[in-house]
């Protein structure tokens, strides 16, 4: 029932609220989420009507026109708490953490993560502040790729997005303040390649 829990959290419905919506005792809801009880069709219909989603979503599938059903959406964790995009409909807060809801699995592994872009160091490559990028840990970085890296400064590290041109991480920006980082001399470390860019309007 993890998909149902995620939907309820996204729509601000607690287990107490769910018990009230269904007209059931809270112990029934506990049994439901612990797998000791099945969700009934009429209950799925009530929940769907309350939060405004298709019944298929409540049951853990998404309808696709003329193509049957698909897997429920995947939640990709944000590396850092987003600032600009946290109120977007596909950004979900769960247990104090933020996740990006993607409509299809698209082959992402459990090591996939999302990151909100905070600067314009790559704006000439079409990556703007406020955009969301998806990457995946343990994927090798290849020369010529746009990558996510860590630049260590004093006691902390800053996450940066740059083009990997060994041994440098190159900005591509209209702002002259962004300088190349040397992997040999600037305390910079490659993390993973950028796999997808989501433009935030």
Q: Kindly report, residue by residue over 74-126, the tens digit of the pLDDT.
A: 889 999 999 988 888 788 888 889 998 886 555 788 899 999 999 999 999 99
Minimum mean pLDDT among 53-57, 63-67, 150-154: which range? 63-67
- Which are the contacts of 106, defined by CB distance < 8 A and separation ≥ 6? 74, 196
For the chain, the domains span 2-70, 74-198
Q: Average pLDDT of 156-173?
A: 95
Q: What is the CATH number of domain 2-70?
A: 1.10.260.40
Evaluate the omega torsion of the peptide bond into residue 31 and state whether it is cis, within 30 degrees of 0: no
How far apart, in Å, are the Cα atoms of 14 and each of 29, 56, 58, 59? 10, 20, 15, 18
When the pLDDT of each residue in the chain is averaged and rounded to a whole number, the result is 86
Q: Read off the pLDDT band of 65 (50, 70, 90).
A: very low
74-198 has which fold?
A: Umud Fragment, subunit A (2.10.109)
Q: Average pLDDT of 50-79?
A: 70
């Amino acid at each position: 029932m993890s998909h149902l829990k995620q939907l309820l959290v996204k729509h601000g419905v607690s287990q107490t609220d769910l018990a009230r919506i269904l007209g059931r005792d809270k112990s029934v809801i506990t049994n439901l989420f612990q797998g000791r009880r099945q969700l009934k069709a009429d209950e799925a219909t009530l929940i769907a009507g309350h939060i405004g989603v298709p019944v298929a979503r409540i049951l853990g599938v998404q309808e696709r026109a003329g193509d049957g059903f698909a897997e429920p959406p995947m939640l990709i964790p944000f590396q850092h708490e987003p600032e600009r995009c946290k109120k977007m409909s596909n950004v979900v807060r769960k247990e104090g953490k933020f996740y990006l809801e993607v409509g299809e699995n698209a082959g992402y592994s459990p090591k996939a993560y999302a990151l909100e872009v905070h600067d314009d160091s790559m704006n000439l490559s079409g990556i703007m502040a406020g955009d969301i990028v998806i990457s995946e840990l343990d994927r090798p970085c290849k020369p010529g790729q746009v990558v996510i890296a860590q630049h260590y400064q004093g006691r902390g590290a800053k996450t940066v997005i740059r083009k990997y041109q060994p041994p440098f991480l190159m900005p591509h920006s209209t702002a002259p303040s962004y300088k190349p980082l040397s992997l040999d001399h600037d305390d910079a470390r490659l993390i993973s390649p950028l796999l997808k860019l989501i433009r935030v309007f």
